[in-house]
Amino acid sequence: MTTIQPNLQKEPIRYRLKAFFMKPANLILLFFLAALAVLSLFPMVTMLKNMFTVHAGTERKLLRLSVGSWTLNHFELLFQDREWSRANFFTPLLNSLIVASGSGLLGILIGGTVAWFITRSDLKCKKFISAVFVFPYMMPAWTLALFWTNMFQNSKVGGGVVGMVESLFGVCMPEWFVYGLFPMIVVIGLHYSPFAYLLIGGILKNMDATLEESATILKARRFTIIRRITIPIVMPAVLSTFLLIFSSGFASYTVPVFLGSATRTFTLSTKMRALIQAGYEGQGYIIAFISILLGTLILGVNQYFTGKRKSFTTVTGKSGQVSLVKLRGGNWPISILLIVLTMFFAIMPLFSFALESVIKQPGNYAASNMTLDFWIGTEASAYETGMPDGILMNGMMWMGLFRQVGLAIAVSLIVGTCGMLIGYACVRRRGTWLAQAVENLAFFPYLMPAMAFGTIYLAVATGASFKWMYGTFFLLGLVASVKFLPFASRSGVNSMMQIAPEIEEAATIFGVPWVTRMARILFPIQKSAIISGYLLPVINVMREVALFTLLVPYPRYLLTTMLFSFNETGYSQYGSAVTLLIILIIIAINALVNKLTGASFDKGIGG
Amino acid sequence: MKRVLSLVLVLILTCAIALSASAEGVEDALKAASAMTNEQLYEKAQAEIAAGAQLNFYSTTSFAEKAAANFMEAYPALAGKVVYAEIDDGETYTKLTNQIGSGVKDSPDMALVQNGPDLKVNLLEDGLSLNYFPAALAEVVPEKYQDPAVVTFINSLMIYNNKEGSVGVANVWQLVEPEWSGKVFFKDPTNETVNLNFLIMLTSPEWTEKMTKAYEAFYGKAWESTEFASASYQWIDGFLKNVNYTFTSASKIATGIASGAAGNMGIFVFSKLRKVDENDRGNLTVLQFENDVDCFSGFMYNVYATVCKDTDCPYACALFINWLLSEEGFAGSKSWNSSQGYYSPNTTILKPEGLEDQPYVYWDGKLVFEDLDYIDGLGESYNDIYRFINVRVSK
């Protein structure tokens, strides 16, 4: 028998290429490199172009130039006039930075503290606190903003409408507490504190406890152990979490709208939208671009401090034994305090929305002022508020819900699968430029504020070649898939990193095809984490507004855009009812998937 | 190669001709429709529907949904084929300019839009949408409301919380005084074009003159040029300083004023009073019904009907616009006329008795009417006025 040896000297590239393409991981990486380059970079190029071109409407009229012609006027308008740039750029930028930093710090403080108590102490009622503490992350951020105003608005501030706290206790909180930067920081910080809890908690849970135990044996004080051992170990995760919350807080749009209008506290996101709506699209795109630049800077800082980005998620390798800190006499008081706090921010909003959805006259919580008409009212009994009947009786609401759930499922399937494939390919080809490029490109959409991302895709979908996409379900699915890919890809990388390559290699030696290896070996091993990767986009889509608001064909197309429209136009009872419905659906989906598969969305993040 | 090239050229030419023919076809159809009776239009509309068309329309006013339902009852052959979609004011033109001609499924056939200047500059001037007005109504609708065709007027009035009695405002200059700081509620004009247009209208020569006279009447001295170009600019500056933006929509202003602090005043859409709970309505007083305010007590803006250039049912659109301008359409069950604050350009349609409102003519001179020609004719100075307002909103 003669063996034909390839002539590597003669045709090395050919054989190298063949070997390269023989590996499914390389093919996957090439596919995603091309796809993500188009989906992430092409919109970016379109946006850059829009910063320098004249748009139809106001710009064309003011500049007396034809649509599409090149101009630097948008930059001149935004930056040359001191008063204009202060009002539309610098002051909002400062506000955005304050909100982002404040919410980042608060999120870390609350989430990190709770994470430490849950993972490293013998706190009571851990299961309850742990389960309920993540609720605010499942809620759309602006629902917490609504809850805040429902609670604290009072006769001394804003419009003088009485809120729950004043109604029940006669206490009037000052304006800075109810509206402006402070409540924005609190609300966004609280919204993302479960995020910090899950990320930091994941590190604390998996941290090698022998370090702390050694210190204890050496008679180090508890505070010294926390300061010298625990904090340095979790510091990379803390920093990464801070930067991620900072980025999300910076991009927040709905919270500043609800909490900032009363005190004229505008942020870059709110100004960007106002400028685009007023016909100054070019300036709006410049603001969007600067937001993205800042996001990129944040990623750079993150990578610089943490070495590599993956360090914000799971640390592999578990300690054989974890010794819990005994809280002794402080256990019950701390447990009760945490229960009360989590109840207030996680359960109270649900009660608040339920209550607000059944009262006719705001601020009057008497039984005589209650009705179920906003839920089940028919044409005869419902109020003349623009909706012909209660939300459960309304076909449009059901259609919005159906679309939202359909979109969530579609996006989940796309994003979950892509995330898993990216994770597999990046881990198998770790260290190559291709894997690094795909990992970075997959993470890039996270840096774009949802509002800016929606605006970019609006610009793309309004281009001559892609007009057919505008207003379609396909566009929403595409945009949401790209936007929510970062966490799924991180989840994919994390789960695949925990599987030793030898397992797959053994199957490869036996000639098991790649698809079978994935389906029979890799997926079953990491089933829970992978399903969690599918679950996270469901939650993201179910609560997303800013991303979809410019892209839906009409405001009542999706349940969340319908809700935002209700709240904007003053249908507050319908708004509260729909909000409650969304939160309950998210909780139900999470619970159902958890029951069926053991997965939950916190595992998708890396907890 | 030559064959391929020529084939491509022929294809491009065919498409171009087809597209232009389509736009011309709609324009011709609308011209023909203008002279037809409703019966003739109904026949044509039925043929369009039979050919697979569906009338999709956008509207910034939710009453249009009920008007469409009444329309389909009156013309049963069109039942289920007139589909309403609500659209936010701020996104109206972004969406329409993108959707018209895009071929997107269920793209709009017509729209009921506010903000005439934007309608003109974004749609009509670019030929994206076309005007339609029925010749039969030329005698009963003033000419200036025929092109672009106005289907309803909406007013925003000064309304205050009367729990502690009258606020005693008889002159608009009172609202720029320090005691009104934070007590006047108004929707952010940089987010609501009709509110922006109201402020822009104040800079017109006509309103500047009225503002100057009101200034003299209130302060007892002639207005003198200081840092502002006119009395109107001074009023806008003072007004925007006092404005409170807590409530982000007209409905929220209405309910917020009603259930909020005594003496608060809002300038909001009159028809939003229907959103206020019955128990609270007594807390509200329409300033104009109490005092004949010097020099205005709110503003009036127009809602226009416009037909998209790529509609496949121009006759159905024409019939629907006829309906909206008719007594049955405008004053039908639970339609515009049943609410305060909506007025038909058709002078034969009056507000029903028993409604706390006044006919359209009553408001002439008492409210600042949006004038499309003035705003559109501002040219580059539009930017200066917008800048003046924008920077003051943020202060």
**Domains in chain A: boundaries:** 23-46+395-607
Question: Is A565 within 8 Å of chain B by CB?
Answer: yes
Nearest Cα residue to A435 out of A525, A308, A337? A308
- CATH T-level fold of B155-300+368-393: D-Maltodextrin-Binding Protein; domain 2 (3.40.190)
**What is the SS3 assignment for B26-56?**
HHHHHHHHHCCCHHHHHHHHHHHHHCCCCEE
User: pLDDT tier at A607 (50, 70, 90 boundaries)?
Assistant: very low
| B298 contacts A200 by C-beta, under 8 angstroms | no
Q: Please report the pLDDT score of residue A397 as a whole number.
A: 86
What percentage of chain B carries pLDDT values higher than 90? 68
Lowest mean pLDDT among A105-109, A599-603, B141-145, B205-209: A599-603
A3 pLDDT exceeds 60?
A: no
> What superfamily would CATH give domain A23-46+395-607?
MetI-like (1.10.3720.10)
Lowest mean pLDDT among A263-267, A377-381, B20-24, B351-355: B20-24
| Rounded CA separation A164/A156 (Å) | 14
Task: Give the distance from residue A540's alpha carbon to the nearest chain B alpha carbon, in angstroms.
Answer: 24
Q: Please report the pLDDT score of residue A579 as a whole number.
A: 85
| B75 contacts B319 by C-beta, under 8 angstroms | yes
User: pLDDT tier at B15 (50, 70, 90 boundaries)?
Assistant: very low
User: Comparing B225 with B20, which gets the higher pLDDT?
Assistant: B225
B7 pLDDT exceeds 70?
A: no
With tokens 């698809």, the residue in question is A515
Does residue A359 sit in helix, strand or coil? strand
Nearest Cα residue to B94 out of A262, A275, A105? A275
User: pLDDT tier at A14 (50, 70, 90 boundaries)?
Assistant: confident
* CB-CB under 8 Å, A161 with B102: no
| B66 contacts A386 by C-beta, under 8 angstroms | no
Q: Please report the pLDDT score of residue B321 as a whole number.
A: 97
User: pLDDT tier at B370 (50, 70, 90 boundaries)?
Assistant: very high
Tell me the pLDDT tens digit for each residue of A475-488: 999 999 998 888 78
User: Comparing B160 with A451, which gets the higher pLDDT?
Assistant: B160
Does residue A88 sit in helix, strand or coil? helix
Q: Please report the pLDDT score of residue A322 as a whole number.
A: 62
B265 pLDDT exceeds 50?
A: yes
Task: Give the distance from residue A336's alpha carbon to the nearest chain B alpha carbon, in angstroms.
Answer: 36
**What is the SS3 assignment for chain B?**
CHHHHHHHHHHHHHHHHHHHHHHHHHHHHHHHHHCCCHHHHHHHHHHHHHCCCCEEEEECCCHHHHHHHHHHHHCHHHCCCEEEEECCHHHHHHHHHHHCCCCCCCCCCEEEEECHHHHHHHHHCCCCEECCCCHHHCCCCCHHHECCEEEEEEEEEEEEECCCCCCCCCEHHHHHCHHHCCCEECCCCCCCHHHHHHHHHCCCHHHHHHHHHHHHHHHCCCCCCCCCCCHHHHHHHHHHHHEECCCCCHHHHHHHHHHCCCCCEEEEEHHHHHHCCHHHHCCEEEHHHHCCCECCCEEEEEEEEEEECCCCCHHHHHHHHHHHHCHHHHCCCCCHHHCCCEECCCCCCCCCCCCCCCCHHHHECCEEECCHHHHHCCCCHHHHHHHHHHHHHCC
Residue B381: count of CB within 10 angstroms of its CB: 12
Question: Is A268 within 8 Å of chain B by CB?
Answer: no
Average pLDDT over chain A reads 82
User: Comparing B131 with A208, which gets the higher pLDDT?
Assistant: B131
A53 pLDDT exceeds 80?
A: yes
| Rounded CA separation B273/B155 (Å) | 12
User: pLDDT tier at B19 (50, 70, 90 boundaries)?
Assistant: very low
A525 pLDDT exceeds 90?
A: no
| B234 contacts B223 by C-beta, under 8 angstroms | yes
Tell me the pLDDT tens digit for each residue of B267-302: 999 998 887 877 788 999 999 999 899 999 999 999
Nearest CA in chain A to B89: A277
Question: Is A463 within 8 Å of chain B by CB?
Answer: no
CA angle B13, B15, B20 (to 5 degrees): 95
Mean pLDDT of B237-264: 92
With tokens 């839906």, the residue in question is A552
Dihedral pair phi/psi, residue A172, rounded to 5°: -110, 115
* Burial (Cβ within 10 Å: 0-12, 13-18, ≥19) of residue A463: middle
| Rounded CA separation B29/B320 (Å) | 14
| Rounded CA separation B161/B184 (Å) | 11
Mutate to test the interface with B, among A58, A79, A280 (most CBs of B within 10 A): A58
Q: Please report the pLDDT score of residue A167 as a whole number.
A: 87
- CATH T-level fold of B24-152+302-359: D-Maltodextrin-Binding Protein; domain 2 (3.40.190)
Tell me the pLDDT tens digit for each residue of A567-590: 666 677 888 888 888 888 888 888
Mutate to test the interface with A, among B193, B279, B391 (most CBs of A within 10 A): B391
| A594 contacts A604 by C-beta, under 8 angstroms | no
| B158 contacts B298 by C-beta, under 8 angstroms | yes
| Rounded CA separation A94/A292 (Å) | 16
* CB-CB under 8 Å, A57 with B244: no
Nearest CA in chain B to A86: B391
A554 contact residues in B (CB cutoff 8 A): 58, 85-87
User: pLDDT tier at A311 (50, 70, 90 boundaries)?
Assistant: very low
A199 pLDDT exceeds 90?
A: no
What is the distance between the terminal CA atoms of chain B, rounded to a whole angstrom? 65
In chain B, where are the structural domains located?
Answer: 24-152+302-359, 155-300+368-393
Nearest to A160 among B58, B196, B261 (CB): B261
* CB-CB under 8 Å, B87 with A554: yes
Nearest Cα residue to B155 out of B256, B297, B280? B297
User: pLDDT tier at A4 (50, 70, 90 boundaries)?
Assistant: low
Q: Is the ipTM of this complex over 0.85?
A: no
Chains A, B: CB contacts within 8 A come to 172
